[in-house]
Amino acid sequence: MLNKDSKEARVTRFLDEMLDTLDETYERILRGINRAQKDHAHRLLQCLSVAARLLSVEELAELDWWWEDQEEAVLSTCSNLITVAHDGDSQVVQFSHFSVMEYLTTSLHLTRSNEDIARFHIHFERVYTLLTQAYLGTLLRLDECGGGGNNGTERFSLAGCAAQHWVDHAQFEQVSSRIRDGMDDPFDLFKPHFAAWLGVHDIDRPWFDFSH
């Protein structure tokens, strides 16, 4: 009969082997992504890794200018790593398993790789910076709709999420110092961007999703 230490050693060895197998599987998937789609896949996985909530297909489309069939574009890019689920009237995109996120953020196999797949390693501060810049870009375009509110969220699917969460993302580590110039306009009371931002999300009252 195995003693307790032997059982624990076997369990530990099994888990280590399983993690190695998962790493190998995810590496193979990343290598298999079509070269023409790798930039899209990279952006998609980055967004999913740090977004404050699940993003819809339409919101992700605005972040990366997907082609007409948005769901097919998302799924065909890295279908074994992500899945599209129904959330009410929306379709949200998420990792197919929590281990995908762990692999992209912590795998030594990925960070030490000399291959092109090393680009897929998630550097949190860098990704938060990119997503915050994308959110700010959306907010700075709200005045094209004549303001925020329903007009903004109807024109830009990402507007609600951007208005609610960009400040939180900007507070991550040194992100705000990296995008300091871009942060001025939303707070300038003499420009239309501030009113448009508040039209979508009033920071002084509980969040209300104007898209529903």
Over residues 157-195, the pLDDT tens digits come to: 888 888 888 888 989 989 988 888 767 666 666 665 666
- 23 and 110 in a common domain: yes
What is the pLDDT at residue 212?
A: 38
Supply the pLDDT for residue 7. Answer: 58
Enumerate residues 6+ apart whose C-beta is below 8 A from 95. 48, 81, 82, 83, 101
pTM flag (> 0.95):
no
pLDDT score at 210: 37
CA dist 209 and 161 (Å) reads: 9
67 and 32 in a single domain? The answer is: yes
* Domain termination residue (choose one: 122, 144, 168): 122
Are residues 79 and 20 part of one domain? yes
Same domain, 143 and 114: no
Residues 6+ apart with CB under 8 A from 80: 29, 96
pLDDT of residue 70: 59
Choosing from 104, 122, 140, the residue where a domain stops is 122
The reported pLDDT for the residue numbered 18 is 52
Give the CA count within 13 Å in the CB-facing half-sphere of 105.
16
Q: Using CA atoms in the order 32, 72, 61, 207, what is the torsion angle rounded to 10 degrees? A: -110
Give the mean pLDDT per block of 10 residues along the chain (212 residues): 57 54 87 85 91 88 63 71 86 91 88 85 94 86 60 71 86 88 67 64 49 40
Q: 205 lies in a domain?
A: no
Q: What count of Cα atoms within 13 Å lies in the side-chain half-sphere of residue 202? A: 7
SS (H, E, C) 36-55: HHHHHHHHHHHHHHHCCCCE
Whether 130 maps to a domain, the answer reads yes
Predicted pLDDT at 195:
64
The reply to whether 207 falls in a domain is no
- Domain range for 136: 126-200
Total of domains in the chain: 2
